[in-house]
Chain A
């Protein structure tokens, strides 16, 4: 049993995205629980990948592929986990704020968070405060992540926080922000819960925010 989990870890590390679905099915059929597949198969692989990325030994396209390998396996085990009422790492609603079209950094953050086990609802770019509010109501996320690459659209971050407050949902979520002109000091100023300077740090921050709130 641990053999297949080990193989699954290494499939994630190798980014064998076409194999992991079947491996997950085999593991479940072979008697593994969904939790075991996730926490002893997929996650150790992904943790290794993120360690290698931070150490400069793996690169974005490789990390993306590993994350995809993991997500493909997740498709198999997620329904089982949901049925058994097992808690996932957490849900994140993510978007680039209103007026801002820079989306590549946000996409990277989304992929890294997915790689860390989060479920992502990506609202795209140029997302109005109201759309964030709607998404919070609809998806019940743990975290709202906002990206802004422009000083002019940093205003929309504050506006979106306000919209969450007005809709009475601010307390239900942690808010995390990022993007090139954004700083920790700005995050403190507008009263959000977290800031991270890059995608790898964003995934770590998301984990911390969840750990702190549970």
Chain B
């Protein structure tokens, strides 16, 4: 059972660090609350949906910004989507970069947009890694027979 307790502690610590470092916010908690017996994989489902969605969006954004004449409305729509989905899962840092990104879009600042795209990619990969790690720990924990602490 030591392993379970250790894993539990690891999970709690890791989650705490995620919150403290600002990767996630309260929305992620709410998301977790929505998960219950009837819907045991809710969070994982949502987050993987988020990953899929985000990768598509990032690709499209990169494509859109490579064009000679950039359609800022399109870019803005993509960023808005990205912002919406990131706020829905509580990926706070991604969301914040998205806000800055939208401002640059409004100003039609190509350099700023490109910079933000890099940033958003970075933040996204970071949060993706973190979340994947989180899910891995959870999986291990469940495999070890423990329950996820709330």
**A and B physically associate:** no
Using a CB–CB cutoff of 8 Å, the interface residues on chain A facing chain B are none
Using a CB–CB cutoff of 8 Å, the interface residues on chain B facing chain A are none
